[in-house]
Amino acid sequence: MKNIVRLLSLLMLTVCSCQTVEQISIDYLKPAEITFPEQVRKIAVVNNISDQPEINTNGNDSLLLAKGDLYIKTSSTRYKWGDARTAAESLAETIAEANYFDKVLISDSALRANDITLREATLSQTEVMELTDELDADMLVALENVVIKYQRSIRFSSYEGGYWGTTDAQVFPTIRFYLPNRKTPLAYITSTDSIFWEDFQRSEGYLRKQMISEEELVKEASDFAGTILVKHFTPQWVTADRYFFIDNSINMRDAAVHARENNWEEAVELWKKAYEDKSEKRKTRAATNIALYYEMQDDYENALAWIAKAKEKGFKAYKIDEKQIALQSQEAQIVHYIVTYEKVLTDRQADYIKLHLQMNRF
């Protein structure tokens, strides 16, 4: 689970005449919000949504005036139930693409298809046991609800000589996780995200015909809804920016060359030599760089030890205290970065322990 490093060697931030800061990008796995038992390796996605009546909403248009001859026609907010089958299929596909579980399958039937009245009900333990046995699964991921909230607007501008049509939608899907040995769901997730469609036409009438239909909106938004949940319960790759310091000393300059070439072992040896310098500012910069090296080795104990040294030296070298790190001076910005980086490393250390638990299946 080593970090992937991408060096952006062209981005140089000038701190002072004899010192620069170089940015790199690192990719690393971030743990999921939910940790499942290690034995959960095969999962089944089921549709646990009843057939639902139409949501009554007012769809009258209102006219909003803006500056000059620009005006916007906006419809009232409308709500629709999502397409449960489409959302469930999208959910299953996205889980499979995450490559976290050994097996992902989907049940073709809607569990509440025969309900006479609308209800939102969790699955009973008996239902869960029967379904996991029938589907040969260790856990059920049940789609419980999908709501779509959307609004349309048409904007005219004489400058562009035509009409812009925009449809903004928010989706609100809910899922629950069921294990056969539990009487109640293991956990549930409700998420929200936005999707929009935009088109431009010279004629307002033609634009209205070209804008996405309500039927297509429901289908596409439901497909989108199935994709936004998986990031909450499977580890995800994230990209973050990091920085290392360079100054006019031989060791710091040569270390930067090695870092740009991903020769981090050579770079850290030179940074450690630079740390032996009498200059407190150079000690601060070198210690920060060494902390970065250890972060990329997933050695958070050493990373935190070195960033603590950098913070201690930085406050002393730049004559900055805790109350002054929010200032805009170059010295304050350096110390502020070090203090912020220490918090980042603390969080990553906690995440790393959780990630190990989640990756034990491999």
pLDDT digit string, tens, across residues 22-38: 999 999 999 999 999 98
| pLDDT tens by residue, 46-76 | 999 876 666 655 555 554 544 444 566 777 7
pLDDT greater at residue 224 or residue 1: 224
188 pLDDT tier (thresholds 50, 70, 90): very high
For residues 106 and 45, the answer to whether their CB atoms sit within 8 Å is: yes
pLDDT greater at residue 130 or residue 115: 130
Residue 133 phi, psi (nearest 5): -70, -45
Nearest CA to 200 among 252, 240, 165, 241?
A: 165
pLDDT greater at residue 349 or residue 117: 349
Q: What integer pLDDT is reported at residue 108 of this predicted model? A: 74
Predicted model pTM: 0.79
CA–CA gap between residue 292 and residue 342 (Å, rounded): 10
* DSSP letter assigned to residue 343: H
For residues 196 and 168, the answer to whether their CB atoms sit within 8 Å is: yes
CA–CA gap between residue 22 and residue 318 (Å, rounded): 20
CA–CA gap between residue 289 and residue 245 (Å, rounded): 7
Count the helices and strands in the chain (H runs, E runs). Answer: 9, 12
**pLDDT greater than 60 at residue 99:** yes
| pLDDT tens by residue, 282-323 | 999 999 999 999 999 999 999 999 999 999 998 888 887 666
Q: What integer pLDDT is reported at residue 121 of this predicted model? A: 74
| Domains of the chain: residue spans and CATH | 4-24+243-358 (1.25.40.10), 42-232 (no CATH)
